Each structure stands twice: as structure tokens, then as C-alpha cells.
Amino acid sequence: MTSRMPLPDLFAGLAVLGFGLIGLWQAWAIPVSPLHAQVGPKAIPYVVAAGLTALGAGLVGAALRGGWSHGIEELAGAAPPNRRALGFLFAGLLANLVLIGPAGFSIAASVQFVLVAAAFGSRSMARDLLIALPLTLLAWFLFVQGLGVNIGAGLLEGFILRLLGQEPV
């Protein structure tokens, strides 16, 4: 235990706790149609906000008991940042931003998946793409068909919809 209060740890915990409480407040303010008999639009925001609130409370508690970041300062000087990995992460975010409009969700998210996997050390881009494409297509399908949220059909989604005899939306 340290003799002084670790203020950065306390401020971080209070910030997360504050975001959680704001999330709860905003989830409470979501209007609900009387057509929602069971799970409505408030369920997931409440779960996320409750999780943030619990995490924030835990971080504040840890800060009051001496903090959690005292070992981080020693680790920070252990190795220089991996610029290659950071470059792949940035490239993944940028690729998604640039491709989402013209190419669609599945292609943009698959390219991002491959680049982020490379940032974490994967050396098989072909394998990563074979994993990413079905996952992103499944996510797109679940959004559109399962949740009724139209995130737009891109090139790949439009092709698959045409194969199934449907018109892209």
C-alpha cells in the first residue's frame, strides 16, 4: 500500500463511473413505444451503462485502496512502442473509414480485421481474410435480418442478395 492517494487512478475511476451514470441517465430517457412487449430499445444501453458504472465503482475502490497503476510506470520504460503494430492498427481504422461507403460493411470490416490481426502478429493474411469474410457477413446479416437495422448493402452483400433472389436495400 502506498502512503498517498493515487490521484490519476482515482480520476480515471471517477471518469468511468461518470460515463456509466450518464449512460444510465440517457438509457432511461430513451422513448419506448407501447409496441415493445418484452425487450425494448433500452435493454442493451442499460446493460452497457450498468457495466461501466460497476467498472467505475471498482476502479474508484481500487484507487482508494492504493491504486492499480503503480506498476505501470516501471513497465512503460521497458520497451519502445511497436510502431509497426500501431501502423497496422491505424491502417485498419483508416481502411474501414475509406471503404465503408463505396465497398460496404463486409469488405471494409474484413480489411480492418486483417490489418488488426497483422498488428497483433498474425502472418497469414489469407487465413485472416477467410475468417473475417464469413464473420462480417454474418454480422451484417444479423443486423439486417435479425434486428431489422439496415446498415446498407455493399458490393459483396448486394452480390449475395442477388444470388438469393433478393433486391439489395
Q: How far apart are CA 9 and CA 168, in angstroms?
A: 49
- The boundaries of the domain holding residue 70 are 7-76
**Residue found by looking up cell 485498419 in the block:** 92
Q: What is the mean pLDDT of residues 38-47?
A: 82
Q: Are 152 and 101 in contact (CB under 8 A)?
A: no
In this structure, are 55 and 71 located in the same domain?
yes
What is the model's pLDDT at position 2?
Answer: 46
| Beta carbons within 10 angstroms of residue 157's beta carbon | 23
Q: Using the predicted structure, report yes or no on whether residue 169 has a pLDDT greater than 70.
A: no
In a domain, 15, yes or no: yes
Please tell me the predicted confidence (pLDDT) of residue 63.
Answer: 92
Residues 96 and 141 in one domain: yes
